[in-house]
């Protein structure tokens, strides 16, 4: 049995095939990468190469039967797959942080730099900074006082998790590459994106998401604040801040600023 991770669209479909959580699927065809069989990755971060965070869902899976895999191990095809459970993007990063093979896990250093594609920089130290500068890489800063997670590459994820709210701990997640996502987890945390076609996802009543880049989207839990920007030919033409109140702005719903109006981003919400 191989434990891995698989991406889907918003309907839990992959290449038009409908999956259900808890079910096992088999095929009589011999698995061949990119041709036949059920595909997934052992490294959660590799999934981001195929399913962009803003529009996708992710699951923990088990692969069995016949196997075909890439030499570098990024992708696997099997003749039998079980969809074990759904994972949030935050949980995907947590799972990646626990892997030891092929991952940068200098977790107790105050400053951690990762330059490898598909790898993770992690810190849980006070005043810790985790930076990933490669594509499809991630940064995870958590548990300490004033921690920062920064990613620079395309299709990357930055997660900042504030510690004890009563001690006024602060955390910042920042993504600079396009097609990336910044996640603020727990209160007193800021998530910010500057690259195009990116998103901020904020959790905790004192958290804020700043969607600064062109065509960016934002969503948050009840009580969070969202800052949305509108661009035209490389210049900002509008900025609005709004709180997720559960009425005008709904929780866990993607929003954009279009023609001066905050609107639901139907493509991300319904894909």
CA distance 152 to 115: 10
The token duo for 243 is: 């709180």
Give yes or no: residues 122 and 73 share one domain. no
CA distance 129 to 139: 9
Q: What is the pLDDT of residue 6?
A: 96
Whether this model's pTM surpasses 0.85: no
CA distance 29 to 17: 16
Q: What is the pLDDT of residue 70?
A: 81
Give yes or no: residues 130 and 239 share one domain. yes
Q: What is the pLDDT of residue 31?
A: 94
CA distance 244 to 186: 15
Q: For 4, what's the count of Cα atoms within 13 Å in the CB-facing half-sphere?
A: 26
Give yes or no: residues 15 and 148 share one domain. no
Range of 65's domain? 2-87
Residue segments in the chain with a per-residue pLDDT below the cut of 50: 101-102, 104-105, 166-167, 268-271
Domain presence at residue 23: yes
Give yes or no: residues 18 and 141 share one domain. no
Q: What is the pLDDT of residue 84?
A: 97
What's the domain count of the chain?
A: 2
Give yes or no: residues 178 and 54 share one domain. no
Give yes or no: residues 68 and 165 share one domain. no
Q: What is the pLDDT of residue 102?
A: 45
Domain presence at residue 92: no
Using H for helix, E for strand and C for coil, what is the string for the chain? Answer: CEEEEEEECCCCEECCEECCCCCEEECCCCCECCCECEEEECCHHHHHHCCCHHHCEEEEEEEEEEEEECCCCCCEEEEEEEEEEEECHHHHHHHHHHCCCCCCCCCCCCEEEECCCCCEEEECCCCCEEEECCCCCEEEEECCCCEEEEECCCCCEEEEECCCHHHCCCEEEEECCCCCEEEEECCCEEEEECCCCCEEEECCCCCEEEECCCCCEEEECCCCEEEEEEEECCEEEEEEEEECCCCCCCCCCCEEEECCEEEECHHHHHC
Give yes or no: residues 61 and 111 share one domain. no
Give yes or no: residues 123 and 229 share one domain. yes
Domain presence at residue 41: yes
- 182, 165 contact by CB (below 8 A): no
Q: What is the pLDDT of residue 72?
A: 67
Q: What is the pLDDT of residue 104?
A: 47
Q: What is the pLDDT of residue 117?
A: 79
Distances (CA, A) of 204 to 161, 170, 194, 251: 10, 12, 22, 11
């Amino acid at each position: 049995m191989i434990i891995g991770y698989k991406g889907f669209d918003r309907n839990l479909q992959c290449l038009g095939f409908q999956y259900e959580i808890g079910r096992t699927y088999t095929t009589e065809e011999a698995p061949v990468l990119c041709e036949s069989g059920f595909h997934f990755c052992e490294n959660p971060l590799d999934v981001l190469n195929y399913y962009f965070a803003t529009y996708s869902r992710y699951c923990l899976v088990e692969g069995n039967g016949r196997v075909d895999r890439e030499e570098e191990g990024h992708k696997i095809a099997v003749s039998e797959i079980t969809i074990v459970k759904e994972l949030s993007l935050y949980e995907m990063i947590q799972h990646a942080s626990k892997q030891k093979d092929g991952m940068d896990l200098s977790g107790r250093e105050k400053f951690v730099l990762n330059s490898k594609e598909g790898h993770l920089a992690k810190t849980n130290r006070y005043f810790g900074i985790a930076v990933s500068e490669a594509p499809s890489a991630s940064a995870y800063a958590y548990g300490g006082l004033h921690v920062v997670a920064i990613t620079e590459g395309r299709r990357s994820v930055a997660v900042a998790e504030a510690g004890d709210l009563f001690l006024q701990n602060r955390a910042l997640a920042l993504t600079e590459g396009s097609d990336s996502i910044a996640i603020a987890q727990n209160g007193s945390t800021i998530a910010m994106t500057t690259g195009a076609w990116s998103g901020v996802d904020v959790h905790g009543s004192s958290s804020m998401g700043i969607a600064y880049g062109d065509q960016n989207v934002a969503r948050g839990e009840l009580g969070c604040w969202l800052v949305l920007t509108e661009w035209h030919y490389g210049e900002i033409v509008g900025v609005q801040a709004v709180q997720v109140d559960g009425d005008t702005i709904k929780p866990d719903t993607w929003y954009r600023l279009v023609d001066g109006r905050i609107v639901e981003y139907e493509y991300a919400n319904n894909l």
